[in-house]
Amino acid sequence: MNSEQTNLQAALFGLGLDRAAPAPLHQQLTEALRQMILSGRAAPGTRLPASRQLARDLSVSRQTTLTALDQLLAEGYLETRPGAGTYVARDLPHLAPPPAPAPIATPTAPIPARPFHPGAPDMAQFPHAVWARHLDRAWRRPAPELLALPDPFGWPPLRAAIAAHLAAWRGLDRPGAQVMITSGATETFELLARALFRPGDSVLVESPGYGPMRSALTRAGLAITRMAVDDDGAILPDGARARGVIVTPSRHYPMGMTLPLARRLALIDWARRTNAWVIEDDYDSEFRYTGAPLPPLAALDAERVIYVGSFSKLLSPALRLGYAVLPQALLAPLRAALAETGPRASLIPQPALASFMESGEFATHLRRMRRLYGQRQAVLRAALARALPDHLIAAPDPAGMHLLCRPGPALEQVPDTEIAAIARDAGITLRALSAYWPDGDGPQGLVLGYAGFEPEALEAAVLRLADVLKARYP
């Protein structure tokens, strides 16, 4: 027995196998031997004690040692030589001991949204029992088509239900075949960026605008040209040269104005003349409290405009379902773009959402939430007018899920980012309007989401906000 063998035997003898541990003894022994080999404590070529000897040394059954040795033979840590016993494999490269394990991270528990987090619907109002019934019905005895190779564009009955919804609510008349389901607006923008444009192509976007959309375009290598926005919405620059334009005509994000008809027609006309694509992001038009909505741009030109929608704000962000309504000519390019990444939208919620829409329960829910959100906007405006009349000025907004407030005389010298920071310290979420501009140099204002919160929570948050703001800026 050479010194390597002696050392190994000593080390094995000192192994602390734990009979009380949940892992069986043979597994503990396997792991201990593996670590000795990996760390170099058991050197390549060292002969192991016979299994009987090992069992005696460790006071375990021979079966335990045989199982451990077999496993390590199978894994290649050990090798046998005919009639000569078991050895640590010779051709193993030496592996330095792994770094000390880092402290264990604890999982982040989901936290409830706090006022005035914008854009999230009130999930407590979600019709959970109805929804669970649709899920159960769809999956208990699923239709054979649900078990087939899924259409990458999504579950066909859901696509038809979305088409029917858009015809009824938005005056957009298109067959379900032109609806593509995605996991949300950001994936839609990524797919469109790859299917419609080539890296380096120029695309016009509104400034301010929706950040995740801009970064999806940038990731696809597109050159972004920013369009200024005035009180009517995006201004198409004279002689604009671009392969496409992305707009929020129904309700500018985050400013809230509606693009007037003349600008809509000019946009379509420009797109036709220059052979450019128009991408219309229609993210919360269903929540309109007063006045008649304009039909979407897509209703003006079926072959030039791509309509982008999502269920995140209308129903629940947990669904991760969005969609695009595509011109005929784009069906094949988008199928190709989807084939490259594979679909991301889960099929699990799709048949349930389809029957939820077909049954009329979706429309009922939207009407109910529209009434509720309209009331909440009024509550928030009244609370602001009472508690902070010289600090935050909010005009009534005919639609949407958030209010845009301008700083009043008491806050005129205070940057909106500073106001947002003070609110954050008091546990209140305010978004600074200036931060929606590329370099943070936009006009001053604050975005207050109200849709997701009970009237009492809105009023309490306004009072808390009034306390901290008035303490600093009376």
Q: Output the smallest distance, CB 315 to its own copies, in A.
A: 11
Beta-strand relationship, 179-182 and 402-407: unpaired
Four-residue CA torsion sign, 423, 427, 432, 437: positive
Nearer to its own copies, 210 or 373 (CB): 210
Contact between 387 and 462 under an 8 Å Cβ cutoff? The reply is yes
Max Cα distance, the chain (Å): 95
Measured from the CB of residue 274, what is the shortest distance to its own copies in angstroms? 13
For residue 11, give every residue at least 6 positions away whose Cβ sits within 8 Å of its Cβ, in sequence order, or none. Answer: 36, 41, 42
Closer CB to its own copies, residue 156 or residue 415?
A: 156
Residue pointed to by tokens 């301010």 = 208
Least Cβ distance, residue 200 to its own copies (angstroms): 13
Q: What is the nearest approach in angstroms of its own copies to the Cβ of residue 127?
A: 11
Measured CA to CA, the distance from residue 220 to residue 279 in angstroms comes to 16
Pick the closer one to its own copies by CB: 197 or 473: 197
- Cis link prior to 197 (omega < 30° from 0)? no
Assess contact for 432 and 446: CB atoms under 8 A: yes
Closest distance of CB 34 from its own copies, Å? 8
In whole angstroms, the minimum distance from the beta carbon of 331 to its own copies comes to: 6
* Least separation in angstroms between CB 270 and its own copies: 9
Nearer to its own copies, 173 or 467 (CB): 173
Report in angstroms how near the CB of residue 193 gets to its own copies at its nearest: 11
Q: Which is nearer to its own copies, 335 or 406 (CB)?
A: 335
> Whole-number minimum distance, CB 468 to its own copies, in Å?
23
User: Would you tell me how many other CB atoms lie within 10 Å of the CB of residue 319?
Assistant: 21
How many Cα atoms occupy the beta-carbon half-sphere of 327 within 13 Å? 20
Task: Compute, in degrees rounded to 10, the torsion defined by CA atoms 265, 270, 271, 276.
Answer: -160
Q: Distance between CA 419 and CA 465 in Å, rounded?
A: 10
Residue 9 or 310 with smaller CB distance to its own copies: 310
Q: How far apart are CA 406 and CA 410, in angstroms?
A: 11
* Closer to its own copies by Cβ: residue 318 or 385: 318
Nearest residue (CB) to its own copies, 272 versus 371: 272
Q: How far, in Å, CA of 64 to CA of 31, rounded?
A: 13
Instruction: Find the shortest distance in angstroms from Cβ 189 to its own copies.
Output: 10
Joined tokens for residue 310: 């999502």
Alpha-carbon dihedral angle through residues 361, 362, 368, 373, given to the nearest 10 degrees: 160
Closest approach of Cβ 119 to its own copies, in Å?
11
Task: Choose between 98 and 474: whose C-beta lies nearer to its own copies.
Answer: 98
Task: Bin 146: left if φ > 0, else alpha if -120 < ψ < 50, else beta.
Answer: alpha
- Render 211-272 in DSSP notation, one character per residue: HHHHHHHHHTTPEEEEEPEETTEE-PPTT---SEEEE--SS-TTT-PPPPHHHHHHHHHHHH
Q: How far is the CB of 340 from its own copies (least distance, A)?
A: 6
Is the CB of 2 or the CB of 218 nearer to its own copies? Answer: 218
Query: What are the φ and ψ backbone dihedral angles of 174, each rounded to 5 degrees?
Result: -145, 150
Toward its own copies, which CB reaches closer, 15 or 177? 177
CB closer to its own copies, 319 vs 469:
319
Q: Which long-range contacts (CB under 8 A, 24 or more apart) does 377-381 make?
A: 377/289, 377/403, 377/450, 379/450, 379/455, 379/458, 379/459, 380/116, 380/448, 380/450, 380/458, 380/462
